[in-house]
Structure 1
Amino acid sequence: MIPAYIVAIGDELLYGQTLNTNAHSLSKMLTDVGFKVVKHISIADERQVILDTVEEMSKVAKIVLITGGLGPTKDDITKKTFAEYFNVGMRRDEEVLKHIENLFSSRGREMTELNQTQADVPTNCKTIPNALGTAPAMWFEKEGCIFISMPGVPFETENIMEKEVIPRLLEFFKPPFIVHKKIQTISIPESILAQKIEDWENNLPSDIHLAYLPHLGKVTLRLTCEGDDKEKIETELNAQVQKVLPLIEKYVYGFDDETIEGKVADLLKEKNLTLGIAESCTGGYTARTFTQHEGASKFFEGGIIAYSNDVKIKVLGVKLDTIVKYGAVSEQTALEMAEGVRKLLGTKIGIATTGVAGTGGGTPEKPVGTVWIAYSDENETVAKTYQLTKNRNLNIQLTTNAVLNLLRKKMIEM
């Protein structure tokens, strides 16, 4: 194992003003080529904090990736702090300076003395080009540990990692392969899933590790194995997947990085089906889930956000008597919405959502989190109910997941 640590420098991260997306992307890049990410930490733009962190990392890591604090302003102190840590001075890198000059010239901007200081780096570092920005990355070595300091701008960091850092690390180290195989499940709680596969899990080979990754009504089972023979590892992992599938197959919608919406979209295209959506409590979220993916126009005809009863009645054709007798959040209304949107848009399938998303609007009979979804095709119209959470945003996402799973099941039955 070659341990790697990721350190993000920036007060804005600690204040919660900026999301640390670099930790996610850098971890994936490292893992994909066999390095073992051990820890992520975020620290303040403070000299002593940086010095203490670098010293701590030098004792336990082989690779330390550091992002942030490389700007030209006084609050960015990473370069000077590294120079202090290694007890060296600063030098002006002429290649970096030439790059900065060309960058400003190509953009028609005037370069100031402050911009030129971006080319000043500790004398003991190797500079790494930053094709998309002015701050170079810096490579330091200490007793077998590699420190790589990069700018915090995500698109710059990712480009430096892909084009420069990863190739250099693979020249310096020879990491083993780390291979993951993921099984994507839906509509089964983590605890029930664990019970169903307990015997299989207990008999996994010692070099294969299983993790449960729950998220919004779905659970990912991730199998991980490390070694020098990638093809052999993949064969072993695939064999274990085939062993466990019969135990949970009805809950499995895909593998690896497949999404439930992607799987449903593939089924719709494969079966040459068209889809119309009528949404109340999800407010367009379900339609967006489809339309954010390329190729949705091949099956998605359109959607109606029938938030008010008037729209349900006048546009979708829900009967006034249905609303009066059963309410907008009911099986009967959901059924008529699904059938109504299918007929209105002339699609093969219509789906509908109606419910009390929250945080207000609940009653003793229909508390917050009460949701009905419905499915309609030329042969049947069916509805299902759920009692979800008290959180509005969670309810919207969970309802969409339920709709997607109902669609998936119905199309598999066709």
Structure 2
Amino acid sequence: MNRQWKTELIGIGTELLLGQIANTNAQWLSEQLARYGISVYYHIAAGDNRKRLTDIFTTAQSRSNLVIVTGGLGPTEDDLTKEAANELFGQSYRMDETAKEKIEAYYKKNNLSMTSNNYKQAQVFDQAYILENEEGMAPGQIVEYDGVIWVFLPGVPIEMKHLMTDGFFPYLKERYDLPTEIKSEMLRFIGIGESALEDCLSDRIRSQDNPTIAPLASIGEVGVRLTASADTIEEAKEIISEEKEIILSRLGSHYYGSDDSTIEEKVRDLLESKGYTIAAAESLTGGAFINELIHLPGASDVCDGGLVSYTKKAKEKSLGVSPYVTNRYGTISKECAEAMAERVQHIFSSDIGISFTGVGPSSSEGQEPGSLYIGLKIGDQRAYHHFYHMQGAREQVRKRAVKKAYELLFQLLRN
């Protein structure tokens, strides 16, 4: 049976509303459902209140055809998911014997006294399809009521994921036309913003069907996730390959890799392929640039070292930047950035010297917050600089600065 999916995810627990924990279940569920072409329309977080839960469930019944509820299946009085749902279903309960025996065995094995309310976890709807929980106590349940599929799962992430992967998706594939094979690939781009990328691909995004196309932005870069469905994994790969070729024909100059690739790894590989080494002089970034590089395998082949010269004194004494430069132009200037890059290249005898100097969240030396100078010295060429204005709080500025430097090196080394 084929179906147009309209899915609602409901996370139960007052701790979600108080911000004590993040609803990572909803994130994971949305990602997995998308792989099967199942659209999620609503994310809801609800507290442990029976009346409000009943109202939320009634609304979900009226507007969705797949409702996945996580949490509220435990043994305590504030675990109210089943009670609130049964205001809608009006079903009797039965005891799931497998879950009951597991609960009893757990308490016996650990020599603990079991109270009667623990049996509540084994209580299921009379007409439910049971998903056995091999990771915990409470089983999952599927109830099809008045055209809507309801799925009740524990809120513990490892239990929820197990029940979805080994229980719910096989259940759904038996009854509905879901693709046999799903394949996804994340294409990674740098040096282009999310809005510009979406504009370039607007016609492909508007007409998307199979594969689906999902732009995803992060600090300093953008990803495009392609997800294809087919009868075989080979066919799904071919569908993705054809769409990828179209996308790269438009955005290839910004593309650096797929899936788990990182821009830092790409720059390391480019340095290694050309036999270059690099050294960094960092002020604003406080060593973050070199740290991203040296944690990678093989970094010692391309990274000579780095210096954090945060103050004017450090720039003069440790790096050897001329006091004439710092006094006349300031430490946050193109002249200082170029001198820092030149000095660190000389100190480490590197092929490339790179430097960072700038302003965090408050102005300094007459420079606006977010001002950033990146200096570069390559071989025997004259040192030069790039200027940027970074948005965000202090840590955001630092992260964006590091990412921008890797973008510069990627374009420089590739070309």
Q: TM-score range by the shorter chain?
A: 0.7 to 0.9
TM-score, normalised via structure 1 length? 0.81
Matching residue of 2:190:
186
Q: Does 1:55 align with 2:65?
A: no
- The residue correspondences of 1:10-409 to structure 2 (distance < 5 A) are 10-103=13-106, 110=112, 112-113=114-115, 116-117=118-119, 119-124=121-126, 125-176=128-179, 182-193=186-197, 201=204, 212-221=215-224, 234-256=237-259, 258-271=261-274, 273-290=276-293, 299=302, 302-344=305-347, 348-358=351-361, 360-362=362-364, 365-380=366-381, 381-389=383-391, 391-409=393-411
**AA at the equivalent of 1:401:** K
**Percentage of matched positions with identical amino acids:** 31
**How far apart are residue 168 of structure 1 and its match?**
3.0
SS in 2 for 1:54: helix
Matching residue of 2:11:
8
Deviation string, structure 1 residues 114-143 (Cα, Å, up to 9, x no partner):
773353323423443333333332332224
**AA at the equivalent of 1:393:** E
For 2:300 and 2:16, the matched residues in 1 are separated by 39
**How far apart are residue 49 of structure 1 and its match?**
2.6
**AA at the equivalent of 1:52:** D
**How far apart are residue 65 of structure 1 and its match?**
1.7
Cα–Cα, structure 1 residues 384 and 50, in superposed 2: closer, same or farther, change >3 Å? same
Cα–Cα, structure 1 residues 374 and 226, in superposed 2: closer, same or farther, change >3 Å? same
Deviation string, structure 1 residues 215-269 (Cα, Å, up to 9, x no partner):
4343334556666677556545533443443443322223455433343344345
Cα–Cα, structure 1 residues 237 and 319, in superposed 2: closer, same or farther, change >3 Å? same
**How far apart are residue 373 of structure 1 and its match?**
1.5
**AA at the equivalent of 2:289:** T
Q: Is the 8 A contact 2:205 2:213 kept in 1?
A: no
After TM superposition, the structure 1 stretch with the greater mean CA deviation from structure 2, 246-255 or 16-25, is: 246-255
Q: How many residues align?
A: 409
Deviation string, structure 1 residues 92-122 (Cα, Å, up to 9, x no partner):
434224334555677x573542773353323
SS in 1 for 2:319: coil
**How far apart are residue 164 of structure 1 and its match?**
3.2
**AA at the equivalent of 2:25:** N
TM-score, normalised via structure 2 length? 0.81
Cα–Cα, structure 1 residues 229 and 40, in superposed 2: closer, same or farther, change >3 Å? farther
For 1:109 and 1:323, the matched residues in 2 are separated by 72
**How far apart are residue 37 of structure 1 and its match?**
2.7
Cα–Cα, structure 1 residues 345 and 201, in superposed 2: closer, same or farther, change >3 Å? same
Superposition RMSD on alpha carbons, in Å?
Answer: 3.6
After TM superposition, the structure 1 stretch with the greater mean CA deviation from structure 2, 307-316 or 6-15, is: 307-316
SS in 1 for 2:222: strand
Cα–Cα, structure 1 residues 383 and 109, in superposed 2: closer, same or farther, change >3 Å? farther
For 2:70 and 2:118, the matched residues in 1 are separated by 20
Runs of at least 5 residues in structure 1 that lack an aligned partner in the other structure:
none
For 1:15 and 1:374, the matched residues in 2 are separated by 45
**AA at the equivalent of 1:374:** G
After TM superposition, the structure 1 stretch with the greater mean CA deviation from structure 2, 224-233 or 213-222, is: 224-233
Runs of at least 5 residues in structure 2 that lack an aligned partner in the other structure:
none
Cα–Cα, structure 1 residues 376 and 154, in superposed 2: closer, same or farther, change >3 Å? farther
Deviation string, structure 1 residues 316-335 (Cα, Å, up to 9, x no partner):
33333322222221223223
Q: Is the 8 A contact 1:355 1:369 kept in 2?
A: yes
SS in 2 for 1:40: strand
